Amino acid sequence: MARRVAVIGGGSSGLCAIKACLDEGLEPVCFERSRDIGGLWRFEEQPEEGRASIYRSVIINTSKEMMCFSDFPIPDDFPNYMHHSKIMEYFRMYARRFDLLRHIRFGTSVCRVSKSPDFATTGRWEVVTESEGKQQSDVFDAVLVCTGHHTDAHLPLHAFPGIEKFKGRYLHSRDYKDPQDFRDKRVVIIGIGNSGSDLAVEISQTAKQVFLSTRRGAWIFNRVGQQGYPIDIVFTTRLKALMQQLLTSSMASGFAERQLNMRFDHAHYGLKPKHRVFDQHPTVNDDLPNRIISGRVRVKPNIQEFTETSAIFEDGTREDVDAVVFATGYSFSFPFLEECVKVVENQVSLYKYVFPVDLEKPTLAFIGFIQPLGAIMPISELQCRWATRVFKGLSTLPPRHAMEADIKHKKEEMAKRYVASRRHTIQVDYIPYMDELACQLGVKPNLPLLFLTDPPLALEVLLGPCTPYQYRLRGPGAWRGARAAILTQRQRVLQPLQTRPVEENSSASVLPLLRKLAVAVAVFAVIFLLL
Protein backbone atom coordinates (compact mmCIF):
# COMPACT_ATOMS: atom_id res chain seq x y z
CA MET A 1 0.00 0.00 0.00
CA ALA A 2 1.21 3.50 -0.86
CA ARG A 3 2.36 5.46 2.15
CA ARG A 4 -0.04 8.26 3.12
CA VAL A 5 1.12 11.84 3.46
CA ALA A 6 -0.94 14.61 5.08
CA VAL A 7 -0.47 17.91 3.24
CA ILE A 8 -1.65 20.86 5.35
CA GLY A 9 -2.77 23.79 3.17
CA GLY A 10 -3.91 24.05 -0.45
CA GLY A 11 -2.00 27.20 -1.49
CA SER A 12 0.77 27.11 -4.09
CA SER A 13 3.02 25.12 -1.70
CA GLY A 14 0.26 22.61 -1.00
CA LEU A 15 -0.44 22.11 -4.71
CA CYS A 16 3.15 21.24 -5.58
CA ALA A 17 3.34 19.08 -2.44
CA ILE A 18 0.42 16.97 -3.70
CA LYS A 19 2.09 16.62 -7.08
CA ALA A 20 5.47 15.68 -5.59
CA CYS A 21 3.78 12.95 -3.52
CA LEU A 22 2.01 11.59 -6.60
CA ASP A 23 5.27 11.65 -8.61
CA GLU A 24 6.92 9.56 -5.88
CA GLY A 25 4.04 7.07 -5.61
CA LEU A 26 2.93 8.39 -2.21
CA GLU A 27 -0.75 8.96 -1.38
CA PRO A 28 -1.39 12.61 -0.49
CA VAL A 29 -4.38 13.82 1.49
CA CYS A 30 -4.46 17.62 1.48
CA PHE A 31 -6.45 19.48 4.13
CA GLU A 32 -7.47 23.01 3.18
CA ARG A 33 -9.48 25.02 5.66
CA SER A 34 -11.10 27.23 3.02
CA ARG A 35 -13.35 26.14 0.15
CA ASP A 36 -10.85 26.58 -2.68
CA ILE A 37 -7.18 26.40 -3.70
CA GLY A 38 -4.70 29.27 -4.11
CA GLY A 39 -4.09 30.33 -0.49
CA LEU A 40 -2.93 33.93 -0.33
CA TRP A 41 -3.42 34.53 -4.05
CA ARG A 42 -7.20 34.00 -4.02
CA PHE A 43 -8.47 37.52 -3.43
CA GLU A 44 -11.60 37.93 -1.40
CA GLU A 45 -13.11 40.96 0.21
CA GLN A 46 -13.29 39.04 3.49
CA PRO A 47 -11.11 35.95 3.44
CA GLU A 48 -11.72 33.18 5.96
CA GLU A 49 -10.09 33.35 9.38
CA GLY A 50 -6.61 31.81 9.15
CA ARG A 51 -6.03 32.49 5.46
CA ALA A 52 -3.72 35.23 4.18
CA SER A 53 -5.33 38.32 2.68
CA ILE A 54 -4.26 40.57 -0.19
CA TYR A 55 -5.47 43.83 -1.72
CA ARG A 56 -7.57 44.13 -4.86
CA SER A 57 -4.85 45.55 -7.09
CA VAL A 58 -1.92 43.37 -6.08
CA ILE A 59 0.52 42.46 -8.82
CA ILE A 60 3.25 39.97 -8.09
CA ASN A 61 6.89 41.11 -7.90
CA THR A 62 8.42 37.96 -9.33
CA SER A 63 8.14 37.42 -13.07
CA LYS A 64 6.38 34.51 -14.71
CA GLU A 65 9.43 32.61 -15.97
CA MET A 66 11.02 32.78 -12.51
CA MET A 67 7.93 31.85 -10.49
CA CYS A 68 6.45 28.95 -12.46
CA PHE A 69 6.50 25.33 -11.44
CA SER A 70 9.45 23.61 -13.11
CA ASP A 71 7.52 21.30 -15.44
CA PHE A 72 4.62 23.60 -16.24
CA PRO A 73 5.61 26.89 -17.92
CA ILE A 74 3.18 29.78 -17.61
CA PRO A 75 1.42 30.33 -20.96
CA ASP A 76 3.23 32.48 -23.52
CA ASP A 77 0.56 35.16 -23.58
CA PHE A 78 0.37 35.69 -19.80
CA PRO A 79 2.00 38.97 -18.68
CA ASN A 80 5.41 38.81 -17.06
CA TYR A 81 4.15 40.31 -13.80
CA MET A 82 0.73 38.93 -13.12
CA HIS A 83 -2.28 40.33 -11.32
CA HIS A 84 -3.58 37.93 -8.62
CA SER A 85 -6.45 36.87 -10.90
CA LYS A 86 -3.97 35.66 -13.52
CA ILE A 87 -1.91 33.85 -10.89
CA MET A 88 -5.05 32.01 -9.79
CA GLU A 89 -5.74 31.12 -13.42
CA TYR A 90 -2.28 29.53 -13.62
CA PHE A 91 -2.71 27.61 -10.34
CA ARG A 92 -6.08 26.28 -11.56
CA MET A 93 -4.47 25.15 -14.83
CA TYR A 94 -1.73 23.37 -12.85
CA ALA A 95 -4.24 21.64 -10.57
CA ARG A 96 -6.27 20.55 -13.60
CA ARG A 97 -3.27 19.36 -15.62
CA PHE A 98 -2.00 17.10 -12.83
CA ASP A 99 -5.45 16.19 -11.48
CA LEU A 100 -4.69 17.49 -8.00
CA LEU A 101 -8.13 18.58 -6.76
CA ARG A 102 -9.39 15.10 -5.98
CA HIS A 103 -6.72 14.82 -3.27
CA ILE A 104 -7.92 17.92 -1.40
CA ARG A 105 -10.46 17.96 1.45
CA PHE A 106 -11.79 21.49 1.39
CA GLY A 107 -13.39 23.13 4.41
CA THR A 108 -11.19 21.02 6.67
CA SER A 109 -8.82 22.54 9.24
CA VAL A 110 -5.97 20.67 10.83
CA CYS A 111 -6.21 21.31 14.58
CA ARG A 112 -3.53 19.00 15.96
CA VAL A 113 -0.60 16.98 14.68
CA SER A 114 1.16 14.73 17.21
CA LYS A 115 3.48 11.75 17.14
CA SER A 116 1.70 8.42 17.15
CA PRO A 117 2.60 6.18 20.13
CA ASP A 118 4.85 4.03 17.90
CA PHE A 119 6.56 7.09 16.31
CA ALA A 120 10.10 6.02 17.23
CA THR A 121 9.77 2.96 15.02
CA THR A 122 7.20 4.02 12.40
CA GLY A 123 7.58 7.82 12.16
CA ARG A 124 3.77 8.09 11.96
CA TRP A 125 1.66 11.07 12.90
CA GLU A 126 -1.85 11.45 14.31
CA VAL A 127 -3.64 14.25 12.53
CA VAL A 128 -6.80 15.71 14.05
CA THR A 129 -8.98 17.68 11.65
CA GLU A 130 -12.20 19.63 11.98
CA SER A 131 -14.86 20.01 9.34
CA GLU A 132 -18.33 21.46 9.86
CA GLY A 133 -17.88 21.29 13.61
CA LYS A 134 -16.91 17.62 13.63
CA GLN A 135 -13.48 16.40 14.65
CA GLN A 136 -11.79 13.41 13.11
CA SER A 137 -8.47 11.69 13.77
CA ASP A 138 -6.38 9.81 11.25
CA VAL A 139 -2.87 8.37 11.07
CA PHE A 140 -0.34 9.36 8.38
CA ASP A 141 3.13 8.12 7.48
CA ALA A 142 4.40 11.67 6.95
CA VAL A 143 3.30 15.31 7.07
CA LEU A 144 4.05 18.28 4.80
CA VAL A 145 3.23 21.62 6.46
CA CYS A 146 2.27 24.13 3.74
CA THR A 147 0.41 26.77 5.75
CA GLY A 148 2.28 29.89 4.54
CA HIS A 149 3.96 32.65 6.54
CA HIS A 150 2.03 35.75 5.52
CA THR A 151 -1.19 35.18 7.45
CA ASP A 152 -0.73 36.55 10.99
CA ALA A 153 -0.42 40.32 10.99
CA HIS A 154 2.44 41.77 13.03
CA LEU A 155 0.88 44.86 14.63
CA PRO A 156 3.48 46.41 16.97
CA LEU A 157 1.15 48.85 18.74
CA HIS A 158 3.38 48.81 21.85
CA ALA A 159 6.09 50.57 19.81
CA PHE A 160 3.79 53.52 19.09
CA PRO A 161 2.88 55.38 22.30
CA GLY A 162 -0.40 57.28 22.14
CA ILE A 163 -1.97 55.05 19.47
CA GLU A 164 -4.65 54.14 22.04
CA LYS A 165 -5.89 57.74 22.11
CA PHE A 166 -5.65 58.29 18.36
CA LYS A 167 -9.17 59.13 17.19
CA GLY A 168 -8.73 58.25 13.54
CA ARG A 169 -8.77 54.79 11.97
CA TYR A 170 -5.85 52.39 12.08
CA LEU A 171 -5.41 49.03 10.39
CA HIS A 172 -2.79 46.51 9.29
CA SER A 173 -1.97 46.22 5.57
CA ARG A 174 -3.46 42.70 5.74
CA ASP A 175 -6.90 44.33 6.10
CA TYR A 176 -6.42 46.87 3.32
CA LYS A 177 -8.45 46.12 0.19
CA ASP A 178 -8.67 49.30 -1.89
CA PRO A 179 -8.13 53.07 -1.61
CA GLN A 180 -11.75 54.23 -1.59
CA ASP A 181 -11.95 54.64 2.20
CA PHE A 182 -8.98 57.00 2.09
CA ARG A 183 -10.25 59.49 -0.48
CA ASP A 184 -9.34 63.07 0.58
CA LYS A 185 -7.81 61.80 3.82
CA ARG A 186 -4.36 62.38 5.29
CA VAL A 187 -2.85 58.95 5.71
CA VAL A 188 0.36 57.74 7.29
CA ILE A 189 1.79 54.38 6.28
CA ILE A 190 4.31 52.72 8.58
CA GLY A 191 6.91 50.41 6.99
CA ILE A 192 8.69 50.46 3.66
CA GLY A 193 8.54 46.82 2.64
CA ASN A 194 6.66 45.88 -0.52
CA SER A 195 3.28 46.32 1.20
CA GLY A 196 4.10 49.80 2.55
CA SER A 197 5.39 51.05 -0.79
CA ASP A 198 2.55 49.52 -2.85
CA LEU A 199 -0.05 51.01 -0.52
CA ALA A 200 1.63 54.43 -0.44
CA VAL A 201 1.53 54.56 -4.24
CA GLU A 202 -2.07 53.40 -4.51
CA ILE A 203 -3.58 55.42 -1.66
CA SER A 204 -1.77 58.57 -2.81
CA GLN A 205 -3.81 58.57 -6.05
CA THR A 206 -6.91 59.74 -4.17
CA ALA A 207 -5.85 60.73 -0.65
CA LYS A 208 -5.24 64.34 0.28
CA GLN A 209 -1.71 63.45 1.43
CA VAL A 210 0.23 60.28 2.14
CA PHE A 211 3.18 60.09 4.55
CA LEU A 212 5.44 57.05 4.28
CA SER A 213 7.19 56.52 7.61
CA THR A 214 10.32 54.38 7.77
CA ARG A 215 12.72 53.81 10.62
CA ARG A 216 15.70 53.02 8.38
CA GLY A 217 14.90 53.82 4.73
CA ALA A 218 15.29 51.45 1.79
CA TRP A 219 16.87 50.98 -1.59
CA ILE A 220 14.14 50.83 -4.23
CA PHE A 221 14.35 48.40 -7.15
CA ASN A 222 12.37 48.46 -10.38
CA ARG A 223 10.30 45.61 -11.72
CA VAL A 224 11.20 46.76 -15.21
CA GLY A 225 14.92 46.10 -15.57
CA GLN A 226 17.50 46.74 -18.29
CA GLN A 227 16.02 46.93 -21.79
CA GLY A 228 12.60 46.40 -20.27
CA TYR A 229 13.25 42.83 -19.15
CA PRO A 230 11.88 41.80 -15.75
CA ILE A 231 14.54 42.57 -13.17
CA ASP A 232 14.71 39.00 -11.87
CA ILE A 233 15.31 37.72 -15.41
CA VAL A 234 18.23 40.13 -15.72
CA PHE A 235 19.83 39.49 -12.33
CA THR A 236 19.13 35.85 -11.52
CA THR A 237 21.74 34.23 -13.74
CA ARG A 238 24.45 31.73 -12.87
CA LEU A 239 27.13 33.97 -14.36
CA LYS A 240 26.08 36.92 -12.19
CA ALA A 241 25.90 34.66 -9.12
CA LEU A 242 29.47 33.51 -9.87
CA MET A 243 30.66 37.07 -10.38
CA GLN A 244 29.05 38.13 -7.12
CA GLN A 245 31.06 35.46 -5.32
CA LEU A 246 34.26 36.90 -6.77
CA LEU A 247 33.50 40.46 -5.63
CA THR A 248 33.62 41.60 -2.01
CA SER A 249 30.15 42.40 -0.67
CA SER A 250 31.14 46.07 -0.49
CA MET A 251 32.11 46.11 -4.19
CA ALA A 252 28.87 44.34 -5.19
CA SER A 253 26.79 46.73 -3.05
CA GLY A 254 28.64 49.76 -4.38
CA PHE A 255 27.96 48.72 -7.96
CA ALA A 256 24.24 48.07 -7.32
CA GLU A 257 23.77 51.27 -5.31
CA ARG A 258 25.32 53.35 -8.10
CA GLN A 259 22.89 51.81 -10.57
CA LEU A 260 19.90 52.51 -8.28
CA ASN A 261 21.04 56.07 -7.62
CA MET A 262 21.39 56.70 -11.35
CA ARG A 263 17.61 56.39 -11.61
CA PHE A 264 17.03 58.69 -8.65
CA ASP A 265 19.36 59.68 -5.87
CA HIS A 266 18.07 57.95 -2.74
CA ALA A 267 19.49 60.70 -0.53
CA HIS A 268 17.59 63.41 -2.43
CA TYR A 269 14.36 61.46 -1.99
CA GLY A 270 14.79 60.94 1.75
CA LEU A 271 15.03 57.18 1.28
CA LYS A 272 18.77 56.52 1.68
CA PRO A 273 19.35 53.99 4.46
CA LYS A 274 22.50 53.62 6.55
CA HIS A 275 22.82 49.99 5.49
CA ARG A 276 24.06 48.64 2.16
CA VAL A 277 21.70 47.53 -0.56
CA PHE A 278 22.02 43.77 -0.04
CA ASP A 279 21.59 44.02 3.74
CA GLN A 280 17.80 44.29 3.53
CA HIS A 281 15.01 42.35 1.82
CA PRO A 282 14.44 44.27 -1.45
CA THR A 283 11.60 46.71 -1.93
CA VAL A 284 10.49 46.67 -5.56
CA ASN A 285 8.42 49.60 -6.74
CA ASP A 286 8.60 51.36 -10.10
CA ASP A 287 6.07 54.04 -9.16
CA LEU A 288 7.22 55.23 -5.74
CA PRO A 289 9.74 57.85 -6.96
CA ASN A 290 7.03 59.30 -9.21
CA ARG A 291 4.66 59.71 -6.30
CA ILE A 292 7.43 61.29 -4.21
CA ILE A 293 8.55 63.75 -6.89
CA SER A 294 4.96 64.84 -7.39
CA GLY A 295 4.59 65.44 -3.66
CA ARG A 296 1.73 62.97 -3.24
CA VAL A 297 3.91 60.79 -0.98
CA ARG A 298 6.16 62.43 1.60
CA VAL A 299 8.84 60.24 3.17
CA LYS A 300 9.12 60.66 6.94
CA PRO A 301 11.20 59.09 9.74
CA ASN A 302 9.81 56.76 12.39
CA ILE A 303 6.86 57.89 14.48
CA GLN A 304 7.70 58.83 18.05
CA GLU A 305 4.13 59.08 19.28
CA PHE A 306 0.52 59.66 18.32
CA THR A 307 -1.83 62.27 19.71
CA GLU A 308 -5.62 62.18 19.27
CA THR A 309 -5.32 63.67 15.81
CA SER A 310 -1.71 63.60 14.70
CA ALA A 311 1.57 61.74 14.37
CA ILE A 312 4.77 63.18 15.83
CA PHE A 313 7.87 61.95 14.01
CA GLU A 314 11.34 61.37 15.43
CA ASP A 315 12.67 64.53 13.76
CA GLY A 316 10.16 66.52 15.83
CA THR A 317 7.80 67.28 12.92
CA ARG A 318 4.09 66.77 13.42
CA GLU A 319 1.39 65.99 10.87
CA ASP A 320 -2.37 65.81 11.31
CA VAL A 321 -3.58 62.43 10.08
CA ASP A 322 -6.94 60.74 9.65
CA ALA A 323 -5.74 57.16 9.21
CA VAL A 324 -2.74 54.95 9.90
CA VAL A 325 -1.80 51.82 7.96
CA PHE A 326 0.64 49.48 9.68
CA ALA A 327 2.51 47.79 6.82
CA THR A 328 4.69 46.17 9.45
CA GLY A 329 4.87 42.62 8.16
CA TYR A 330 3.85 39.21 9.44
CA SER A 331 4.55 36.58 12.09
CA PHE A 332 4.32 32.87 11.68
CA SER A 333 3.45 30.00 13.99
CA PHE A 334 2.30 26.40 13.91
CA PRO A 335 -0.46 26.25 16.52
CA PHE A 336 -1.36 22.67 15.57
CA LEU A 337 2.20 21.49 16.20
CA GLU A 338 3.20 23.18 19.41
CA GLU A 339 4.77 20.15 21.04
CA CYS A 340 7.29 19.57 18.24
CA VAL A 341 8.39 22.86 16.71
CA LYS A 342 8.98 26.14 18.49
CA VAL A 343 8.87 29.51 16.79
CA VAL A 344 10.55 32.26 18.81
CA GLU A 345 10.43 35.82 17.43
CA ASN A 346 9.83 34.55 13.91
CA GLN A 347 12.80 32.17 14.17
CA VAL A 348 12.56 28.44 13.78
CA SER A 349 15.34 25.83 13.68
CA LEU A 350 14.92 23.66 10.61
CA TYR A 351 17.57 21.88 8.58
CA LYS A 352 17.75 23.76 5.29
CA TYR A 353 14.49 25.44 6.40
CA VAL A 354 12.66 22.13 5.89
CA PHE A 355 13.37 19.42 8.49
CA PRO A 356 13.28 19.56 12.31
CA VAL A 357 16.49 17.98 13.58
CA ASP A 358 15.30 16.30 16.75
CA LEU A 359 12.84 13.72 15.46
CA GLU A 360 13.59 10.00 15.58
CA LYS A 361 12.30 9.73 12.00
CA PRO A 362 12.41 12.46 9.30
CA THR A 363 8.72 12.32 8.46
CA LEU A 364 7.76 15.96 9.05
CA ALA A 365 8.73 18.69 6.59
CA PHE A 366 7.98 22.42 6.30
CA ILE A 367 7.41 23.81 2.84
CA GLY A 368 7.69 27.45 1.77
CA PHE A 369 9.02 28.80 5.09
CA ILE A 370 11.67 30.88 3.39
CA GLN A 371 11.88 34.52 2.36
CA PRO A 372 13.78 34.31 -0.91
CA LEU A 373 15.35 36.94 -3.11
CA GLY A 374 13.16 35.49 -5.81
CA ALA A 375 9.95 33.53 -6.07
CA ILE A 376 8.68 31.14 -3.39
CA MET A 377 6.79 28.72 -5.68
CA PRO A 378 9.70 26.92 -7.41
CA ILE A 379 11.54 26.74 -4.09
CA SER A 380 8.54 25.13 -2.41
CA GLU A 381 8.37 22.71 -5.30
CA LEU A 382 12.02 21.65 -4.98
CA GLN A 383 11.65 21.36 -1.20
CA CYS A 384 8.69 19.01 -1.78
CA ARG A 385 10.65 16.92 -4.27
CA TRP A 386 13.44 16.53 -1.71
CA ALA A 387 11.14 15.91 1.27
CA THR A 388 9.20 13.16 -0.47
CA ARG A 389 12.47 11.40 -1.37
CA VAL A 390 13.51 11.63 2.28
CA PHE A 391 10.15 10.21 3.39
CA LYS A 392 10.76 7.25 1.10
CA GLY A 393 14.29 6.71 2.41
CA LEU A 394 15.80 7.46 -1.02
CA SER A 395 17.64 10.46 0.36
CA THR A 396 19.00 10.55 3.91
CA LEU A 397 19.61 13.41 6.29
CA PRO A 398 23.02 13.86 7.92
CA PRO A 399 23.50 13.21 11.65
CA ARG A 400 21.86 15.63 14.05
CA HIS A 401 25.08 17.45 14.99
CA ALA A 402 25.81 18.17 11.30
CA MET A 403 22.30 19.51 10.75
CA GLU A 404 22.59 21.71 13.84
CA ALA A 405 25.94 23.03 12.65
CA ASP A 406 24.38 23.90 9.26
CA ILE A 407 21.49 25.73 10.95
CA LYS A 408 23.90 27.64 13.20
CA HIS A 409 26.08 28.60 10.24
CA LYS A 410 23.08 29.88 8.27
CA LYS A 411 21.82 31.91 11.22
CA GLU A 412 25.25 33.48 11.70
CA GLU A 413 25.59 34.32 8.01
CA MET A 414 22.12 35.88 8.00
CA ALA A 415 22.90 37.94 11.11
CA LYS A 416 26.19 39.11 9.55
CA ARG A 417 24.62 40.15 6.28
CA TYR A 418 21.19 41.56 7.13
CA VAL A 419 20.18 44.42 9.38
CA ALA A 420 18.63 43.05 12.56
CA SER A 421 14.88 42.82 11.95
CA ARG A 422 12.19 40.22 12.55
CA ARG A 423 11.64 40.17 8.77
CA HIS A 424 15.15 38.78 8.20
CA THR A 425 14.94 35.37 9.87
CA ILE A 426 14.34 33.04 6.93
CA GLN A 427 16.19 34.81 4.11
CA VAL A 428 17.63 32.75 1.24
CA ASP A 429 19.37 33.67 -2.02
CA TYR A 430 17.61 32.03 -4.94
CA ILE A 431 20.37 30.26 -6.90
CA PRO A 432 22.58 29.13 -3.99
CA TYR A 433 19.58 27.79 -2.06
CA MET A 434 17.99 26.07 -5.07
CA ASP A 435 21.37 24.49 -5.90
CA GLU A 436 21.76 23.35 -2.30
CA LEU A 437 18.40 21.58 -2.43
CA ALA A 438 19.15 20.26 -5.91
CA CYS A 439 22.37 18.66 -4.65
CA GLN A 440 20.37 16.76 -2.03
CA LEU A 441 18.23 15.38 -4.83
CA GLY A 442 20.84 15.00 -7.58
CA VAL A 443 19.15 17.44 -9.96
CA LYS A 444 21.62 20.33 -10.08
CA PRO A 445 22.54 20.96 -13.73
CA ASN A 446 25.99 19.64 -14.60
CA LEU A 447 27.41 22.64 -16.49
CA PRO A 448 30.79 21.23 -17.60
CA LEU A 449 29.06 18.14 -19.01
CA LEU A 450 26.40 20.31 -20.66
CA PHE A 451 29.12 22.38 -22.37
CA LEU A 452 30.56 19.21 -23.82
CA THR A 453 27.27 17.61 -24.85
CA ASP A 454 24.85 20.47 -25.56
CA PRO A 455 26.63 23.85 -25.89
CA PRO A 456 23.56 25.98 -26.84
CA LEU A 457 21.71 24.72 -23.77
CA ALA A 458 24.80 25.13 -21.58
CA LEU A 459 25.12 28.75 -22.68
CA GLU A 460 21.53 29.57 -21.81
CA VAL A 461 21.87 27.77 -18.45
CA LEU A 462 24.97 29.82 -17.62
CA LEU A 463 24.04 33.19 -19.10
CA GLY A 464 20.27 33.14 -19.15
CA PRO A 465 17.91 33.47 -16.21
CA CYS A 466 18.15 30.54 -13.80
CA THR A 467 14.59 29.42 -14.42
CA PRO A 468 13.07 26.49 -12.50
CA TYR A 469 13.27 24.22 -15.60
CA GLN A 470 17.02 23.92 -14.95
CA TYR A 471 16.17 21.57 -12.09
CA ARG A 472 14.30 19.19 -14.39
CA LEU A 473 17.15 18.50 -16.82
CA ARG A 474 18.42 15.41 -15.05
CA GLY A 475 18.01 13.14 -12.03
CA PRO A 476 14.79 12.07 -10.31
CA GLY A 477 11.78 13.87 -11.76
CA ALA A 478 13.61 14.86 -14.98
CA TRP A 479 11.16 16.35 -17.51
CA ARG A 480 11.60 15.85 -21.23
CA GLY A 481 10.29 19.35 -21.93
CA ALA A 482 12.91 21.09 -19.76
CA ARG A 483 15.45 21.69 -22.55
CA ALA A 484 12.88 23.23 -24.88
CA ALA A 485 11.40 25.30 -22.04
CA ILE A 486 14.85 26.80 -21.34
CA LEU A 487 15.61 27.53 -24.98
CA THR A 488 12.25 29.25 -25.52
CA GLN A 489 12.02 31.18 -22.23
CA ARG A 490 13.01 34.54 -23.75
CA GLN A 491 10.24 34.21 -26.33
CA ARG A 492 7.72 33.71 -23.53
CA VAL A 493 9.01 36.88 -21.87
CA LEU A 494 8.62 38.97 -25.02
CA GLN A 495 5.45 37.54 -26.46
CA PRO A 496 2.91 39.26 -24.16
CA LEU A 497 4.59 42.61 -24.93
CA GLN A 498 4.27 42.27 -28.68
CA THR A 499 0.79 43.62 -29.07
CA ARG A 500 1.57 45.93 -31.99
CA PRO A 501 3.81 45.05 -34.94
CA VAL A 502 6.97 47.18 -35.02
CA GLU A 503 10.14 47.04 -37.07
CA GLU A 504 13.00 45.65 -35.03
CA ASN A 505 16.05 47.93 -34.88
CA SER A 506 18.67 45.78 -36.63
CA SER A 507 21.61 46.85 -34.43
CA ALA A 508 19.48 46.17 -31.35
CA SER A 509 18.89 42.59 -32.43
CA VAL A 510 22.53 41.93 -33.38
CA LEU A 511 24.11 43.43 -30.25
CA PRO A 512 22.81 40.90 -27.70
CA LEU A 513 23.91 38.10 -30.03
CA LEU A 514 27.41 39.56 -30.27
CA ARG A 515 27.55 40.01 -26.52
CA LYS A 516 26.48 36.41 -26.03
CA LEU A 517 29.12 35.20 -28.45
CA ALA A 518 31.83 37.18 -26.68
CA VAL A 519 30.83 35.72 -23.29
CA ALA A 520 30.69 32.24 -24.82
CA VAL A 521 34.23 32.60 -26.17
CA ALA A 522 35.40 33.81 -22.76
CA VAL A 523 33.70 30.88 -21.00
CA PHE A 524 35.18 28.35 -23.43
CA ALA A 525 38.61 29.92 -22.94
CA VAL A 526 38.30 29.59 -19.14
CA ILE A 527 37.17 25.96 -19.41
CA PHE A 528 40.00 25.24 -21.87
CA LEU A 529 42.55 26.80 -19.50
CA LEU A 530 41.15 24.85 -16.53
CA LEU A 531 41.37 21.56 -18.43
Position 423 contacts ligand NAP (CB under 6 A): yes
Q: Where are the beta strands (DSSP E) in 173-241?
A: 186-190, 209-213, 220-221
What's the min distance (Å) between Cβ of 307 and ligand NAP? 18
Does residue 287 belong to the site contacting ligand NAP (CB under 6 A)? Answer: no
- Using CB under 6 A as the binding rule, whether residue 266 contacts ligand FAD is answered as no
Name the binder of 310 from ligand FAD, ligand NAP, none, CB < 5-8 A by kind.
Answer: none
Give the integer Cα–Cα distance in Å for 105 and 208.
47
Selected from 148, 196, 230, 289, the binder of ligand NAP by CB under 6 A is 196
Of 9, 3, 5, 4, the closest CA to residue 334 belongs to 9
Among 249, 304, 333, 421, binds ligand NAP (CB under 6 A): 421
Residue 256 to residues 195, 273, 276, Cα–Cα distance (Å): 23, 14, 10
Identify residues 51-110 at the interface with ligand FAD (CB under 6 A): 51-52, 54, 58, 60-62, 67, 109-110
Run of H or E including 496: none
Q: CB neighbours of 91 closer than 8 A, spacing ≥ 6?
A: 12, 15, 37, 38, 41
What is d(CA 362, CA 325) in angstroms, rounded to the nearest whole number? 42
Binder to ligand NAP among 131, 253, 261, 302 (CB under 6 A)?
302
Span near ligand NAP by CB under 6 A; candidates 112-120, 321-329, 406-414, 519-527? 321-329
Burial grade of 104 (CB within 10 A; 0-12, 13-18, 19 or more) = buried
Contact present, 461 and 235 (Cβ < 8 Å) = no
- Check residue 190 for interaction with ligand NAP (CB under 6 A): yes
Q: Quick one: which of 279, 282, 292, 273 has its CA closest to 222?
A: 282
* Nearer residue to ligand NAP within complex by CB, 373 or 434: 373
- Which of ligand NAP, ligand FAD, none does 327 bind, CB closer than 5 to 8 A by kind? ligand NAP
Among 31, 94, 306, 451, binds ligand FAD (CB under 6 A): 31
b/e sequence 174-212, b meaning 16+ C-beta within 10 Å: bebeebeebeebbbbbbbbbbbbbbbbbbbbebbebbbb
Q: Which of 56, 216, 276, 474 binds ligand NAP (CB under 6 A)?
A: 216
Of these partners, ligand FAD, ligand NAP, none, which one is at the site of residue 423 (CB under 5 to 8 Å by kind)? ligand NAP
SS3 of 305-325: the string is EECCCEEEECCCCEEECCEEE
Contact between residue 193 and residue 327 where contact means Cβ atoms under 8 Å apart:
yes
Determine if 230 is a binding residue for ligand FAD (CB under 6 A): no
Q: How far is the CB of 65 from ligand NAP (least distance, A)?
A: 16
Name which of 41 and 306 has its Cβ closer to ligand FAD: 41
Single residue of 50, 228, 295, 448 touching ligand FAD by CB under 6 A: 50
The distance of closest approach from Cβ of residue 359 to ligand NAP in the complex, given in angstroms and rounded to an integer, is 28
Q: Do β-strands 152-153 and 330-331 pair in parallel, antiparallel, or remain unpaired?
A: antiparallel
CB 64 within 8 A of CB 492: yes
Restricted to residues 40-79, the positions that interact with ligand NAP (CB under 6 A) are 58-61
Instruction: Indicate the residue among 51 and 172 with the shorter CB distance to ligand FAD.
Output: 51
Q: Using the rule CB under 6 A, which residue among 19, 84, 150, 361 binds ligand NAP?
A: 150
Q: Starting from the edge strand earliest in sequence, which strands make up the sheet with 297-300, in order?
A: 169-172, 323-326, 186-190, 209-213, 297-300
Binding mask 106-135 for ligand FAD (x = CB under 6 A): ---xx-------------------------
Q: Look at residue 299 and give the partner it binds from ligand NAP, ligand FAD, none, a contact being a CB closer than 5 to 8 Å depending on partner kind.
A: none
| Nearer residue to ligand FAD within complex by CB, 10 or 468 | 10
Which CA distances in Å does 138 have to 112, 118, 197?
11, 14, 45
Give the other-Cβ count within 10 Å of 301's Cβ.
Answer: 16
Structural contact between residues 146 and 7, judged by C-beta atoms closer than 8 angstroms: yes
Q: Which of residues 10-29 bind ligand FAD (CB under 6 A)?
A: 10-14
Q: Contact between 202 and ligand FAD (CB under 6 A)?
A: no
Q: How far is the CB of 459 from ligand FAD (least distance, A)?
A: 27
Does residue number 372 form part of the binding site for ligand NAP (CB under 6 A)?
no
Question: How many other CB atoms are there within 10 angstroms of residue 110's CB atom?
Answer: 23
Q: List the one residue from 17, 100, 113, 327 that touches ligand NAP (CB under 6 A).
A: 327
147 binds, among ligand FAD, ligand NAP, none (CB under 5 to 8 A by kind): ligand FAD
Instruction: Label the pairing between strands 142-145 and 371-373.
Output: unpaired
The site for ligand FAD (CB under 6 A) is made up of: 8-14, 31-34, 39-41, 50-52, 54, 58, 60-62, 67, 109-110, 146-148, 150-151, 195, 336, 368, 375-377, 380
The site for ligand NAP (CB under 6 A) is made up of: 58-61, 150, 156, 159, 173, 190-196, 198, 214-216, 281, 302, 327-330, 371, 421, 423
